[in-house]
Structure 1
Amino acid sequence: MVHVARSRADNGNFSTEEVRKSSKPCPSTSRLIAFSKGHYKEPPNLAGGFASLNISSEKPIRANLIADSITEDTFRIALETWADSVLYSASATWIEHKANARDCVFGQFDTNYDARKPTASPRKRTSHLQAASKKNAQTFSFPRAYKEPPEVICWLNRLDLPSGPDYNYKIRAFADAIDNRGFTGHLNTWDDDGGLNGAAMCWIAFPKQKRHVDCGRFSTNDIRKRTNPREKTSGTVKFKQRFQTVPTVLAALSMLDAAGNADLRVKVLITDVKYDGFRWSLETWGDSTLYAASASWIALGFP
């Protein structure tokens, strides 16, 4: 374990390479993050997802994002692996809100449901969640009903995927059946070469057309076909509203489709953020092949 106890300012992003080199992997890499002084009167709620992953293919693809030791001033963020898997590097994106916020709700869906208490109670168990199920679903209720169906964003934050010549790395997190009272979250793999030992995602719900907030999803499939993989795929997003100030754009992975014959290497980058939009890219490197990937984003432009 490598941990930095000296706190760094909160900017919504953390990389293991802030703490150690990718050539020196370890099971857990963490550091303290400091909130703006006096911003919170009690510990806030947090949600986070993977922004990049670089994991050895020699053993199963295992990664986990943890935010704990949360106070009104600081929290610990950690990127971890377990057993004999090797996590060379990873990065995370997070978002927080005040504990008593009424219109923004965070939650967690984990295929290991019985081992981990979700942050919002399930409305109904829509399936018996078993390791290695290709399709996993859970239905959630919002603490209070919205006036209309809200926006729901999903970010991957735990992976346990088999590796080897018989498998590709395929995982998708998404929400559907969204109404003003709740929604159904999904963690799926697909095709004969997709395996799933376990996974988790966070979800973030907030009202549609909320002032100073926008959200969406971008994918390599918006630009090219899966059968035409590239090291870098880029595109642009236009906001549904023009912000008064240049917003902060937070993005994390929601879908992966990569060849299993090499290490899993993927990252999402946000650049050229302006009042009316931004540029994104989804990338791989080395001998890895990224057939497709998607990320979900939230833009915050509070004056």
Structure 2
Amino acid sequence: MEIGSWKISKHWQDVAQGESQQEIISLMAQASSPLILTAFTLLDANWWSNGNQLRARCYATDIHSDEFQVHTDTWSDSYLYQAVVSWLAIPSTPYGILAGTCSVEPHEARGGKKHRKATRIAFQQAFYKPPKVFLCLNSLDLGGTWGIETRAENITRSGFDAVFESKGSSCLHAAGASWLVYDTSLEGITSGIIDVHEDTSLQKSWAGEVKFKKPFQAPPRIFHGIRRIVASAESNLRISAEILEGSVTTDGFGWKIEGWDDSRNHGIQVAWLAVGDNMIQVLDD
């Protein structure tokens, strides 16, 4: 089981309209092709497209036991100036863990009111009790103002609803997410949410620390991704969600969320998943 990140290589001034970028990522050789989850941890996209459309997605293709290709796309008249993609490679048959991707395309979406769309994720096999769900965005297509959230609802032993909801007067055209569910009795894996809101001082950065409910035997690896965005569409969307280098210990980790230049982020949520070496060994075995 591996966790890593990839940053698009082009300088922002060289990025073209509607451009896709990709790169081959090497893995430690596994017995079979793993499942790859992707999530955005940094986005810098233009605001002046027709209808203030915000378009971005990340995903993996050509997945083999020792490598895969990671992609970022934008389309039509949009520009994706910068992006960082967090990725998680999971063995094909992990014990007590299921994972995948999902998407919605609510073509009837209209701006000016909240729009909610859900898709039911049915598990291949039922858990002993409702599992814990990790969920984060890997695709978004918004117009008007920029506001979207994904979350899990109606979690049962056999499945959950992946909900995508617009915020404010945002027009939600389509969205997608990466998801992972795990048995709550498993040792060495836990997850949570980081939630920040802008205050009246026009704050552009936030920092803090997550404390694990139960310490790990050794510092775990952290997979994370943006889960909620509420931002002004009057300037570029600029969001970075970072796990601070060297901050991960057996007890927790440090994080920083920020915007820059003239961007205005009113509310950001980041989902995180911590996986210990003992769990990684179980999955790899």
> What TM-score do the two structures reach when normalised by structure 1?
0.84
Q: Distance in 1 between matches of 2:179 and 2:191?
A: 13
Residue equivalent to 1:4: none
1:214 equivalent in alignment to 2:190: yes
In structure 1, the residue corresponding to 2:216 is in which secondary structure?
coil
Instruction: Say if 2:167 and 2:230, in contact at 8 Å, map to a contact too.
Output: no
Shift of 1:199: 1.0
Question: Which structure is richer in relative contact order (CA contacts within 8 A, separation 6 or more)?
Answer: 2
2:126 corresponds to which letter in structure 1?
A
Q: What is the 5 A alignment of 1:1-303?
A: 11-16=3-8, 19-26=9-16, 27-36=19-28, 38=29, 40-59=30-49, 60-112=53-105, 129-132=106-109, 134-162=115-143, 167-191=144-168, 193-221=169-197, 229-271=202-244, 272-303=247-278
In structure 2, the residue corresponding to 1:197 is in which secondary structure? strand
- 1:73–1:64 distance in 2 versus 1, CA, 3 Å: same
Structure 1 residue 130, shift from structure 2 partner:
2.9
CA distance in 1, matches of 2:201, 2:72: 31
Please name the residue that 1:115 is paired with: none
The answer (yes or no) to whether the contact 1:226–1:292 under 8 Å persists in 2 is: no
Q: Secondary structure at the match of 1:211?
A: coil
**Do the aligned partners of 1:220 and 1:234 also contact (CA within 8 Å) in 2?**
no
RMSD: 1.6
Structure 2: which amino acid aligns with 1:78? H
Q: Which runs of 4+ in 1 moved over 6 A?
A: none
Q: Is the 8 A contact 1:46 1:106 kept in 2?
A: no
Answer whether contact 1:97 1:104 (CA < 8 A) is retained: no
- Report the CA distance between 1:194 and its aligned residue: 1.6
Q: CA deviation at 1:226?
A: 5.6
Tell me how many residue pairs correspond in the alignment: 266
Q: CA deviation at 1:285?
A: 0.3
Distance 1:130 1:109 in 2: 16
Return the alpha-carbon distance in structure 2 between the equivalents of residues 76 and 139 of structure 1: 28
TM-score if structure 2 supplies the norm length? Answer: 0.89
User: Which consecutive unaligned segments of at least 5 residues does structure 2 have?
Assistant: 279-285
Whole-angstrom CA distance in 2 between matches of 1:131 and 1:286: 34
Change (3 A) 1:190 1:210: same
Deviations 1:69-110 (A, max 9, x none): 001110000111111111101111121211122421112221
